Structure formats: structure tokens, C-alpha cells
Chain A
Amino acid sequence: MSTATLEAPASSNGKKLENLETVVIRFCGDSGDGMQSVGTQMTNASAIFGNDVRTFPDFPAEIRAPAGSLFGVSGYQLCFSNHDIFTPGDAVDTLIAMNPAALKTNIEDLKRGGTLIVNEEEFNKSGLQKALYEANPLDNETLMAKFRVHKVPMTRLNRDAVEGLGLSLKGADMCRNFFALGLVYWLYDRDPKPTEEFIKSKFAKKADVVEANLRALRAGMNYGFSTESFTVHYHVPPARLSAGKYRKITGNEAVAMGLAVMAKLSGKTVVFSGYPITPASDILHDLSAFKHFGVKTFQAEDEIAAMAACVGSAFAGELAVTASSGPGICLKGEAMGLGMMTELPMVIIDVQRGGPSTGLPTKTEQSDLLLAMYGRNGESPLPIIAASGPGDCFSMIQEAFRIATEFMCPVIFLSDGYIANGAEPWQIPKVEDLPRLKIEHITAPNGENGEYLPYKRNEKLARPWAKPGTKGLEHRIGGLEKKDVTGNIDYSPKNHQHMTNTRAQKIANIANFIPEQTVDGPASGKVLVISWGGTFGAVRTAVQQSQAAGKSVAHTHLKYMNPLPRNLGTILKSYEKVLVPELNCGQLRLLLRNQYLVDAQGYNKIEGKPFLVNELVNVINEFHG
């Protein structure tokens, strides 16, 4: 909790209201306790108030793990601030633990001197046993002395609050999360109005449930206000973000919205084919509600079918897209190769998660970069781009389609679990500023003898895109090697060499049609830190802190992974040392060393969790020497 000596607004009930710059809080409890829901509400309330916000939802793969178990703990961390922030924060200022298991799995992240709020009634024999506690940690004076502890009998207080509404005990207990939220709202001086509106619309058909949750929220706030246990509460003033209209957005929402907007503005149909998989499914969910924008969604029978359908839709002349995660991308490999060989435009979204195999479905990782680069048989390079944060997904998914349609090839769009589920305030763009996809289907034969030549290329080496149904352009293509210009099957040695080179050259040339790489910090110096994808926020913040500490360090963040920006080689040579922090075992580092013969060093973490700023600052400073 970074404190500031700002003037505190008037206090109430004799309690002090202190101003803070930045706060990190984490709600944790059973996966059925509604922690994601209240975390989202706190995020909304803070964003609407005007703070900059970053979130990190962290939940188990099990939908309803056994109650009280250690592996069933679900957490939601958010950071809100009065200035620009790029990460959901490292150490937690306030931890809300709904049961012993939540305490056990999260207490290590709570700052010394931080606030701990527990539902003390859950710290009973059975709860402690399930969390494998031999003694009640709340009685551990050494441990408790490290924090400001508030033992709150939440279950009873909440039941009292909703009494008389005719709810079962179970029904009453389901409101406990809003009691906890209410208490946090008081503690951080949040306006409950947006949450009250949410409760009213979410449970619109159940008046008693609306009333119960509203009462629980209010009871939590009143508890903070009236109990002597809380003597101070805090205020984080609005951030000075650039002027404009904002909304909150997650990476998956931004992808879906970007696609719907693109369909509408380009006058084309977006055909999304997908198969449910964590953490990509929300893209399918969101898009299936955007039919009136010219979006068709197809939930295929498997990942292979989803990819195959994409090839079909692209051949048919519309904007084909699929989304999956690592295991699904593996299955799609062959059909992606067909898309590459037939040189049709489509976008494959990979929301990366912990691997290998089923791995860690709900945790984040950056370990599919090499899969995207090389995960197909034969020589089959494809363009790869990676979004740097939730809001960035909106423009980058459209950029993926610009490249796909301009160069006639599948494009891989990399996101990750952290970006996909994480939220941030997003400045709403003006419609007139949005890019328009320009698509020109060929309408008449392009051969000298009035025939259609499907592989006659333009100056970008892109072939024409004929829409089936167009008279005179009937043609057949497939996965077999084909002769340039005519597209007829051709296995001859020289032709295969020529076609392989041409396909690779086409992708390599894209480097001339993407922005040049920029650097944050000195243009030359001792250390260059290079990152990609979802680690942008943590790395940028860490580098800025190192710079503030007087280190000669610069940061460059890649969004174009293949081909790499054409000036990257020059940038790499401008620093004595290169550090590549990645949430994998060194995949970008391998590519950089290979392409530029640079002795890049890695900092690699593979814990299913994003980088902490502090750990990166330490690594950078040590690397700098």
C-alpha cells in the first residue's frame, strides 16, 4: 500500500479516511463462494470511479472442487490506483479469506502490516481439517502479529441481515460474498451503486434474491462503519488517465468486440468456428450474441472440424476465424497447413495456457510461441502477432485480419489466460477512427486466354481471392503441391523449391508492412529488456523502476513475432546485454539467438502465474550489475 500525504476528506463516525495512491486487494474463497463475481464488482466500482485498474482472476480448473479444500480455492486480485498502472500488483494490501483453505494458500502474498479479513466462523474443526491445519492459524499470535487482523463472523451477520426473506440457510449463505464486498466497499470508500444496479438486473426475476444480496452488501458496509474493529478507511483518488470515455474490458471481450466491429465496418461476414476450451471459450460465447453484426458462429464437433470449417469459410470468401488454446492448436495443425498451402486468409487465435498436454487449463503461460512458429509439417511459416494486454486485443485482432487478407495467408494471434480474463479500463475509440478492412475479390479471369489463374500473384506475392459463385472463376485447389500461377498439381523438384521459397518470401516480406520496433528508454546502453505478449505490463513497470534507480536499461516489447520488425536487429546491437524475460523456458530467446546471433539471456518462470514487478526489478538490476 503506497501511502501519500494527501489531504484526507472529512471523516465520519469518528473514523479517519486516509488517502492512498495504489491498493492491491485479493478476494479468496471456495470456487463456489462467488469470489470472481465480487472481484469483478470491485473492479467495476473502481473503474467507474476513475481509478486505473488491473485484475488477475486466478481460479481452479475444477468447477466445484470439494468445499473447503486447498485445491478448490478461487482468487481474484485487483489493483486500483490514482495513476497509470500496468499490472495487478505484487504483494497484497488487503486479503479477504472466506475460509481456512483460502488463508493457507494466500497468506504468503499478504504484505507485512497488511489487512487480513477472515470469516472466522469457517475456522472451525471441519474447515481447519480440510485445509490441513493442525491448529487454528487465527490463534497463532506470531503469525497474526504480522498483520492487521479482522475476524468477522460473516456467516452469522449475513444470515441476520437476510432474515425474514424466507431464504434457506444455504440460500442465505450464498449472499456472504456480497457481505464481504460491502465491508471492502466501506474500507476503500467505494460507491455501491453500480453493484446495486448489477444485483437488480442479474437477479431481476427473483425479488427475494435481489433483496437478500442488497441487504448483505449494505450490512457489510454498515459493519465496517459501526464496528470498533475498523478505525480507519481509505480513499484512492481518481487516476489522471487521458481524457475520454472509458469502459472496462477483458482480452476475450476485446477480441469478440473487435471481430464484430470488423464484420460490420467491412460489410463481410465473420464466420467463427470453435470448440469449447479454457481459456478461449468466452470468445465463442460473446460472438454468438453478435449475430446482428454479421457474425456467424459454429460450435464444431471438435478442434479439427473447427479449423477445417475455417478453411472452408475462407475458400467461400468470408472472414474465417477460430479460437482455441494449446491442446486445441495441436489438433488444428494439419488444417492450418491446408490453409497455408491453399493461401487463404483466416485467423487462428491461441489463448495460451499452462502446458504441456492438458497442463494447467486455467493458468497463464507463454509457451506456445514455438508451436505457432513450427507446429506444422513441412516448411510452413505463418505470420504471428501477439497482443500486449486486454485492450490491445481489440485492435490487434483486426490487424491480424489486415495481414491475412492483404497477404492471403492464415495468421496466428497469440493471447494468453492472463490477458484473456484480466480486465483494464479501456478508452473507447471513435468509430470514425477505426480501421476499415479493404477486401477486393477478383471478379474476372486474369489469364491471357480468358482463364482464371488462382496462383498468379501480385507485388506482395499474394494470390487473388475468388469467391465461389463468381462466373468464370471456377477453380480447384487443395493441399497438394501446385504449380505457381495455374495452381495445377505439380510435384516437379524445381517447382517445389520455387513454391517453398515463394511462400516463405511472402511471409518474410510482411516485415515491410508492419510498424518498426520502438524502445522505451535510452537508444543505446547497457541492458535491453525484450518482452512479448501478456508480460508487457510487468516488464514495462519493472524497467521503469530500474531506470528510476539510475540503471542504464531500455525496454522493447514485441507484438509482431513473425516476421519480426525489420529494425529489431539494429536495436539488439545497440546494447551491451540483452535480457528476455518469458513465462516459458526461453522460446523467444531461442528465436532471437537464431535469427540475430545475439547472446540473449533469459529470465524464465513457469509457475502458471504472471511475473511480479519486484522479481523483475531484482532480476534486471542484478543483470545490469
Chain B
Amino acid sequence: MSVDLPTLPVQPLQSKDFASDQEVRWCPRCGDYSILAQMKKVLPTLGIPKEKFCFVSGIGCSSRFPYYVNTYGLHGIHGRAPAIATGVKLANPELQIWVITGDGDALSIGGNHFLHAIRRNIDMKVILFNNQIYGLTKGQYSPTSPLGQKSKSTPYGSIDHPLTPLSVAIGAEATFVARSVDVDIKHLTMVLERAAHHKGTAFVEVYQDCNVFNNGAFSYATEKETRSDSIVYLEHGKPLIYGKNRDKGIRVAEGNRVEIVQLGGDVKEDDLLFHDENTPEPSLAFLLSRMRHPEFPEPMGIFRAVERPTYDESVTKQVEAARAKLGEGNVEKLLNSGDTWFVN
């Protein structure tokens, strides 16, 4: 006799399943809270079991992130998260890896690892919380702080020319490059989702407000009055239009540059730059990454999303190819390789 057992519906994961039992210790109103919240929203939608995620971080405020997500997590050392994550992915390619880093962590002490993870296209998501300041060490300028920024270590203003994280990533030929803002909840969710689905190194810069040491650094991009004129949303296949009245656009001008144009009159939408995130050649994405406030509206969204074999996949393939060609490694044969002789 057989009994039909009811099949238990698999309980889909929810945001709360990804909350760890640790008390979150960021400053009140820190932009990190929003990023954590959106992340916990995105993770359950990916169809990946909780135990298959691994968060890896370096050092800095943002790098406490792994403690607050109930997955596998490794809080590393300053700047080395991409290298640590590379080791994790090589050893265990089934895991989905998220690297959480900051502007100092990724671009200053860890600049080298950041570049090499990207050029190898290791399958990992790299989320850079850019607050243009060192928060955990209490307020020194960072490699993304603007010229002239006053901080504890620059009382007369910074004289370091800043790096643009997206330009660096595109220069290293990242296969996925995006930008969002901590308080733009919907947009951030969308960008994280897209990053999660990308195969290869997905680099996301998130403008994140450090309300203690660099309050309002990105207010132009977040405040209602200024936002529409200060940012332009990138949408694949669509023209770059922005402004309160959506009457301004971005057009490619002579001399490998872009310019702002007023819509209406002579300029039609068709004259504008139509975004193509899949262009194999990274120059267009690079051009977009050069649009900086206040001269230009800063693009938000997916700058680039192209396909290239991932490093970890290639490693696995080489191992398989070696096994196919040479057969499974034979210990006896290895030990006896080369010239051998007998002593009686």
C-alpha cells in the first residue's frame, strides 16, 4: 500500500533569513544601513541557498558588513579582500562571492588586488562603499576625496588628485561596472540584482554618506532640489536624458568627449547618446565615467555589462583538460617518473 505524502512546499527565503544575530554597530544614520537592507532584500530573490553565499571584506566601516549577513563570511585584512575572495572562489567555485570594500580599502591599500581581480574577471561581486573619507580611523582624506578637501590629515585641504573608481575599473576592463546611491533604494536594489546575476567580476560603486566625518558629500545626488539636474540614469538602448523637466541630454561631441545639450529646438532625442551597456570596447563606458559633478550630471546605473570567460571557470577547465589529456593523476607513475635505477 502506498501513501501519497503531501509534498512540503519549499519555504522561499526571506530578507530576515539573512539577518545575523550580531548587533549592527555602524553610527546612527550611516549610509551602510541602507545598503545592508537592500542587500538582504536582493539575496533571497536569487534562488541560491543561504549556505552557498560567502561575503568577504577588508578593513574599514563597510568591511564589518559580513558580520551582519547570516551567510558564510570572512572579515579579512586591509585591502586584501579581492585576493582572499579569489582564494575562496578557486577552492570552492560553487559559492557566490560578495566582496564588500571601501574607497580606502579598495583603491589605496588594496589598489593592486582590486585591479587584478577585475582583469582576471573572477566571478565575484565587488561592492565599493565610496564615502570619500576614512571613517574607521576617524576622518582622514581618502583616494577619492576631492582636491581641497579638509580633513584631519589635510587641515589645509587635500592636494592629492582623486581617483574615479569607475574609471579605474573600466581601465582594467571590468566586465560589469555600475553605480548607485545608498538612499536611492529602488535603484540600488536593481543594481545589486543585476550585479548578482552577472558572471564575472561585477563592480558596483555605491555613493555612501558618512554622516559623521563627511556629511553630505553626495547631497547633490540625493537631495530632491538638486538630484534631477545632477545625475542621469543610464538605461540600456535609451538616450541619456535628465533634468527636472527631462529637457537636457548628453550628446557625443567631436574630440572623443561628451557635451550637454538642451532638448527641443535643433536637438532631437535621436541626436543624443544612446546607452549601450554591451559594447565590447570599454571606451564609451570610460567616457561616461569621466562625467563628474558639477560639470556634468553623474551617470547612475549599469555602465558596462559584457561577457568574458571567468578566471575560476578557466582554472576548472584547465584541470579538466589536463585530466582528459593525461588521465587521472597516478601516484605510482609520478614517483617513478624521470630516470630511475635499481640498487640490489
- Give residues in A with beta carbon < 8 Å to B: 44, 47-50, 194, 238-248, 257, 260-261, 263-265, 269, 271, 273, 290-294, 296, 298, 300-302, 304-306, 308-318, 320, 334-335, 337-338, 342, 428-429, 431, 434, 467-480, 488-489
Contacts and interface: CB of A to CB of B under 8 A. Distances in A.
A479 B67 CA distance: 12
25 contacts: A239-B343, A244-B342, A245-B340, A247-B341, A271-B91, A292-B322, A292-B323, A298-B87, A300-B86, A305-B83, A305-B112, A309-B83, A309-B86, A312-B83, A312-B89, A313-B87, A315-B87, A316-B87, A316-B90, A320-B87, A468-B72, A469-B72, A474-B50, A476-B73, A476-B75
Contacts of A477: 73-75
Contact of B116 (A239, A301, A316, A472): A301
A317 B20 contact: no
B74 A309 contact: no
Contacts of A243: 343-344
A431 B328 contact: no
A441 to B, nearest CB: 12
A312 to B, nearest CB: 3
A308 B76 contact: yes
Contacts, number: 222
A245 B339 CA distance: 11
A194 B340 CA distance: 11
Contacts of B52: 468-469
Contacts of B5: none
B56 interface: yes
B260 interface: no
A480 B327 contact: no
B87 A292 contact: no
A468 B95 contact: yes
Contacts of A301: 83, 112-113, 115-116
B79 to A, nearest CB: 8
B94 A469 contact: yes
B87 A304 contact: no
Contacts of B74: 311-312, 315, 342, 476-478
A247 B77 contact: no
Return the 5 tightest CB-CB contacts between A and B, nearest first: A478-B75, A312-B87, A293-B329, A309-B87, A476-B73
B338 to A, nearest CB: 5
Contacts of B54: 316, 468
Given A292-B319, A312-B85, A480-B75, A257 B334 contact: yes
B332 interface: yes
Contacts of A194: 339
A47 to B, nearest CB: 7
Nearest to B320: A291
A478 B334 contact: no
Interface string B69-106: 11111111100100111111111101100000000000
Contacts of B344: 243
Nearest to B78: A334
A310 B338 contact: no
Name the interface size band of chain B: 35 or more
A49 B341 CA distance: 8
B85 A247 contact: no
Nearest to B50: A474
Contacts of A315: 72, 74, 84, 87-88
Nearest to A247: B340
Contact of B339 (A48, A310, A316): A48
B315 interface: yes
A437 to B, nearest CB: 13
Given A431-B335, A474-B50, A478-B76, A245 B341 contact: yes
B22 A248 contact: no
B56 A312 contact: yes
B162 interface: no
Contact of B90 (A247, A296, A480): A296
A144 B87 CA distance: 60
A334 B76 CA distance: 10
Given A194-B339, A271-B91, A474-B71, 19 more contacts: A48-B341, A246-B343, A247-B340, A247-B341, A261-B331, A273-B90, A291-B318, A291-B319, A292-B325, A292-B329, A293-B334, A300-B86, A311-B74, A311-B87, A315-B72, A316-B89, A317-B92, A469-B72, A471-B51
Nearest to B337: A247
B94 A312 contact: no
Contact of A313 (B75, B88, B327): B88
B109 to A, nearest CB: 10
